[in-house]
Each structure stands twice: as C-alpha cells, then as structure tokens.
Structure 1
Amino acid sequence: MHAVAYADTKCINIQLLPATIFSLFRQRQVPIHLLLTGTRIFEKDFTLVDSHISILQLSTLIRNAIKLWPSNDLAFILGQQWLTTQSGILTQGLLCSRDFSQAQFFWQRHYWSLQPWLQTSRWHTQNQQHILFQQDLSLPELQQFFTELTLSSLVSCFKQLTHCRFQGHFSLPYSSPSNIDQYYKYLGDKLTFNQPIGVVSFDLSLNQTAFSLRNSQSFLQAKRLARYQYFQKPFNIGLPAAVRLHLKKSYQTSTTLPEIAAQLSLSPATLKRRLKDFNTTFQQLQDEVKLQQAIYLLVINGCSNTLIAKQLKFADSNNFRRSFKRWTGQLPSYFKDWLST
C-alpha cells in the first residue's frame, strides 16, 4: 500500500518539471536566485540524481517562475519541451507504445512518475472518447498553469510520436484567459471555456493512430520494469486525489469527513489541516466528485434529475438541481447534450 503524499512530503523528483524550469531560465538568462527565492531549493540540488522536493516547494517555484517569465507562454513552452526532457523506462514505454490507446493506458497507470500533478479518467460516447483531467495536487491557484502545461505536452507528444496533428476539442473549467492567443497557437481553435469539468474530446478512431517508434518487445520490457518501479515507490498519489478516490468508491452513500479521515488513518482535524495546505477543503473535493458523477449520469447515461438525485443521495430532484447550479452556474438541462457530438 502506497503512502499518501502531503503538501510538505518530499515526493516530486527534482529532475522532472523543476529541472526543466531551472534549465529554461538559465538558458534565457533569467536570474536564478530570484527563481529560487523562498523555495528552499539550491542550485546544487539540480545536480543530484535522486533529489526530491515537496509540493509546497514546487508551487513556490512555479509562482516565482510565472512572475519572472517575460511573456505569458511559460506553461506552453514547458509542455512543448516535456518529452525531450524525459528519460528512463517510463519514457521508453511511451515511445514504444503501439498506438495512442496503448500510450494512454500506460500513462494513466504511471502518471505520478510522469506528471504527478495530473489525474485523469476516461469516458466514452458513441463515437468519441473523453479524457477528464483534474489536479492530483489540487492547488486551485495553479489550475490554469497545470492545465496549459498538460494540454501542451499532450498535443506536442502526439505530434512527435505519430507525425500527425492532434485533432481534438478542449473543454476548459475556467473563463477565457488573457493569453488566449497562446491557446490558439499551441492547442488550436477548438476550445470551449467555462465548462463544468476539464475534458479533452476526440474521435475514437484517433486511438488507433500508430506511433512511429512502436516496438512491442521494448514496450513489454518497459511495462514490466515500470510495474516493478511502481511498487517500489513510496508515493503514487497526493492527498486531494486520495480523498477523491475514497469519495468515488462510496459516492452512492453520504460519506463524512471523519469516515474518510479514518480510512486515511488520520484524525478529522489533521485531514482538514492537511487539505488546507493544498488550498482546498473536504467540502470542495466532495463537490468535485459529486459534480463529476452527476455529469456522467446526466450526459453519458442520460439519467433524469430524479434518478441522479436518488443515486447521489440528495433529498429530492429540486435539492440536486440547486446544488448543480451552485457548482456550475447552470441547471442540469443546460448540459444535457454536452459531449454528444
């Protein structure tokens, strides 16, 4: 059983995103001492192979980077460079995947060692697949940064590994940003903002897009070694994602904070405090899970408000409709045909 990573747990490999940020800033001759201010990270740490930093240190580093970067494209640039800065058995697994579908399954299994701030799940409609993305680490103030980084790396990796342009639609859970031109540049024009949850949608046929470096023997080798590494790692999930996971398993019951705390071997007070370090609360995470389940039942299964209210343990359909409007600003009927194209 893997331990859950807290905000102060040293669980982020410095050779991943932190080292990429460090190298980019040094290359662009941006003052490194300003980048590292308040992070408790030192330049020599980037020379260590197995050095780790905490989620709090990572968030401070990113905030510094955003402030210092002279333009509004930092996350997109980091996403473009992501694949070329990776190495090791997990990278081998991605490079040697048979096609886009196999790479997705491999990614989802090992995301914590690749992009630990991202948590994904998949839905299917008749002709399309939908990848839902949430932040494993919560940190709502960095939601836009991590979203830009993640989607930029997805589009860039797909092009590098298939020599084809990624054809998909991006539904984003925030309003149209001031750097919208960067979205058009790096992601294309199939964008929709102010959506209830973050989703990447594409035709199911895209899953069969072959990878140019596909090699079944090398992939199986990477899969075996990655599985071994997975069970050796002390951390493979952050606290907000762990809470969501427990809530999803029991979404048809009214699970309380003390019950989740007990499952995580924490006191209720400690769980509250630990979640506060991620700038989130149990109620916020519970609302996220209920919204995701409600959207699934509404959009994918076509359930009525009455049935959704019953399954999610609301008192009645009116109570569910009020909660849904509080979460999204709209009534359920507004999203009835969402993702139906």
Structure 2
Amino acid sequence: MTLKTDWYERDSRFIPGHWQPAVLLDLALSRGIDSHRLLRGSGLFHEDILSGQARLSPQQFLCLIDNSRRLLDADDSSFLFGQRLLPGHYGAASHALQQAANLQQALDILGRQRALLSPLLSPRLLLDERHAHIYWLDSCGAGAQQRFLLEASMTALVGMSRWLAGERLPWRASFSHAQPRYVEQYWVHLGENVQFAAPVDVLSIPREYLHRPWPGASAIAGQVAQQDSECQLAALGFRASLLDRLYGHLLAHIREPLQLEGVAQAFGMSPSTLKRKLQKHDSHFQEQLDLARKHMALYLYRVKGYSNEEVASYLQFHDATNFRRSFKRWTGLAPSALRQLLEGLG
C-alpha cells in the first residue's frame, strides 16, 4: 500500500516568520544583536519578517537558531526562548492550547497541531501505569541545534502548564547528554528534578495530573479554536514531517524485517529517492531504524516489564550478544544497567 505524501521536509517553506522565528528574533534583538547578523545565511531580511508574509523552511529556521546561539553566547538563551513559545501567538492552534481544560487535552492539541506549534521537534506522549512521558523527535535534521531545541521545548511545556494550571507541576526532566556547566539554568526553568546521561530525552509527570481541571478554560471557545486549527492544517496539506512519518511507519512494522527497499516502496518512492531525502535531513535509514528500535526497547522494558530475551525476540534479534551490543550503542547502557536505572526511578 502506498502512503500519501502528506509530510513536510527540511526545505519546505511553511513556517510563518512572525510565529516561532519572531519569538527568537525578539529575544536576540532585546539583547542588542543586529538583525542583519541574525538573519545572515537565511535568505531573509528583517523587513520580510515584519511584513507577516514570510514563510521559512525548517532549514532557514535552524540557520536562525544557529546564528542566535553564536551571537547571544548566553547559557539561558534556549530557556528564555522556550518560556516565550507556548501557547504562543500562532492563530487558532494557540487559542486552542490556551483554552485546554487540562494537561491531557493540552498534550493532545500539541501533538495534533505539531506542524503549527512545534515544527522542528515532534512531541510524542507515552503512558505507563503511573506516569505520562513526553519525548520529542527530530523533525528535520536539527543536528547541532538539537540540544537547544530540547531545552526550549521542555521549558515551553513546563512554563505553559504552570501558567494554565495555576500551580507548579511536578515534572521530571531527563536528558541524554552529560550534565552541562550551566546546570543551574535547568534547575531554574525546569525544577531541580533533572537527570542527565539518561537513555532518552523525556519529560515525565505522575498520571494523576493529566486530568486535573485547569481554571479559566472555556469549553466552547476551545472547541471552536480546535476546529479552526484543523482548517489551518488542512490548508497546509500535512501534519508532520517526513522523518516523523517514517518513525511512525517503522514503529508500526518493527517486528517485521525492515529494509530500505521495502520502506521506500511503502512511501511511494524509489530506494535511491528515500536515501537522498534522508541524506538531505542529515540522516540515513539505519539511524532511523535504530531510533525506532531504541524507543520500542525502552517501552518494552519500562511499560511492559519484558525480560532481555523477550525484548530481543520482539525486535527480531536472534542473537542475544548482538542485541546487547546494539542496545548499548543506542543508549550508552547495557540492558542490565538500564534495569537498575528503571528500578531506581520507581
């Protein structure tokens, strides 16, 4: 079966310049950075953004982020950017977020409207018996900007939920990178329950907070805003990126033998075309397959309580040694070390 090409790619120009890019521009301009230097290499001028007509590709947005990081050269840049991101001023999708009745509804909106609300990183929600976990997928090949975007995205969700809930929620943030020298910025913006050198980048919260009512929400206004935001997406013609769609396809077929040729056929293109598109996103097929296998393995350990043998079998590894070697390459941990870590988290 051929899948529809309902996705955006790294060079798709659809991000309104006066939305998320303008948030970053305003932050940099407030610190005295020249707009021409900020936009250098992006193919845009400040006047383009002010016109309200400019549409950026993810590649252009990533260029702006790279320029801003270097020119600001400040430890708090990503966190201050994140504080300003959500609900944002992005039309009906932002209105829908602002009228969310609870955290569950806000996360549902953020996921459905990710092309509008979070075009560079795709948020995903995973539930286990006691916790809700939100992790983000690289939508367009963020490369060196990945950590900046993760810090901003987690800060955005923590800040928005605190504002709409009217209280600080007990989030736990885990990052796969080592503890940075500016760890105090994490404590200030995300709380002190932050872990580094974790198997995956994830934000977690006890499940009972998902359905606690948020004050000030309007059910009617929220429903209308959600309908309008669906019209926004319909006008775009897509909801997610190519990498996001590929990840979903790989997860859905993770127990099958997955090869570049078969997956390319499912996406209605030749293997060489899929390979070229992945190269454009600074990735390759094996990297995307490993990512899906890594997340599925963590899910099976954490949520399903599978043994090493059961996880290896589920992922079609018929050699336990090869599975252990692959798992350590994916996460930096041996399966036994992961079990000890999960037991410590409770």
Band of TM-score, shorter chain = over 0.9
Q: CA RMSD in A?
A: 1.8
Partner in structure 2 of residue 57 of structure 1: 60
Partner in structure 1 of residue 33 of structure 2: 30
4+ aligned runs moved over 3 Å, structure 1: none
- SS for the counterpart of 2:126 is strand
Partner in structure 2 of residue 167 of structure 1: 170
**1:276-298 per-position Cα deviation (integer Å, ceiling 9, x unaligned):** 22222211111110000011111
Kindly indicate whether the alpha-carbon contact (under 8 Å) linking 1:2 and 1:236 is maintained by their aligned counterparts in 2: no
- Does residue 315 (structure 1) correspond to residue 318 (structure 2)? The answer is yes
Letter in structure 2 aligned against 1:197 = V
**1:95-143 per-position Cα deviation (integer Å, ceiling 9, x unaligned):** 1111111111111111111011222322223322222222222323211
* Residues 251-290 of structure 1: pairs in structure 2 closer than 5 A: 251-290=254-293
- SS for the counterpart of 2:202 is strand
- Does residue 17 (structure 1) correspond to residue 23 (structure 2)? The answer is no
Kindly indicate whether the alpha-carbon contact (under 8 Å) linking 2:132 and 2:204 is maintained by their aligned counterparts in 1: yes
Shift of 1:85: 4.2
Kindly indicate whether the alpha-carbon contact (under 8 Å) linking 1:97 and 1:214 is maintained by their aligned counterparts in 2: yes
- Does residue 212 (structure 1) correspond to residue 215 (structure 2)? The answer is yes
Select which of 223, 227, 232 maps to 2:226.
223
**1:272-320 per-position Cα deviation (integer Å, ceiling 9, x unaligned):** 2222222222111111100000111112101122221221111232221
* Residues 295-314 of structure 1: pairs in structure 2 closer than 5 A: 295-314=298-317
Distance 1:307 1:279, change over 3 A: same
Partner in structure 2 of residue 188 of structure 1: 191
Partner in structure 1 of residue 294 of structure 2: 291
Distance 1:266 1:2, change over 3 A: closer
Kindly indicate whether the alpha-carbon contact (under 8 Å) linking 2:162 and 2:168 is maintained by their aligned counterparts in 1: yes
* Residues 104-183 of structure 1: pairs in structure 2 closer than 5 A: 104-183=107-186
Distance 1:52 1:329 in 2: 39
- SS for the counterpart of 2:316 is coil
Letter in structure 1 aligned against 2:134 = I
Distance 1:207 1:76, change over 3 A: same
Kindly indicate whether the alpha-carbon contact (under 8 Å) linking 1:128 and 1:204 is maintained by their aligned counterparts in 2: yes
- SS for the counterpart of 2:239 is strand
Ranges in structure 2 where 5+ consecutive residues have no aligned partner? none
- SS for the counterpart of 2:42 is coil
Partner in structure 2 of residue 80 of structure 1: 83
- Does residue 93 (structure 1) correspond to residue 96 (structure 2)? The answer is yes
TM (normalized to structure 2)?
Answer: 0.93
Letter in structure 1 aligned against 2:92 = I
Kindly indicate whether the alpha-carbon contact (under 8 Å) linking 1:45 and 1:51 is maintained by their aligned counterparts in 2: yes
TM (normalized to structure 1)?
Answer: 0.94
Distance 2:243 2:181 in 1: 28
Partner in structure 1 of residue 242 of structure 2: 239
Identity of aligned residues (%): 27
Distance 2:223 2:88 in 1: 23
Shift of 1:155: 1.4
Ranges in structure 1 where 5+ consecutive residues have no aligned partner? none
Kindly indicate whether the alpha-carbon contact (under 8 Å) linking 1:112 and 1:237 is maintained by their aligned counterparts in 2: yes
Kindly indicate whether the alpha-carbon contact (under 8 Å) linking 2:123 and 2:137 is maintained by their aligned counterparts in 1: yes
**1:50-72 per-position Cα deviation (integer Å, ceiling 9, x unaligned):** 42111211111111100000412
Distance 1:279 1:318 in 2: 29
Distance 1:266 1:50, change over 3 A: farther
Distance 1:23 1:329 in 2: 38
- SS for the counterpart of 1:83 is coil
Distance 2:160 2:44 in 1: 29
- SS for the counterpart of 2:203 is strand
Count of residues in correspondence between the two structures: 341
Letter in structure 1 aligned against 2:79 = F
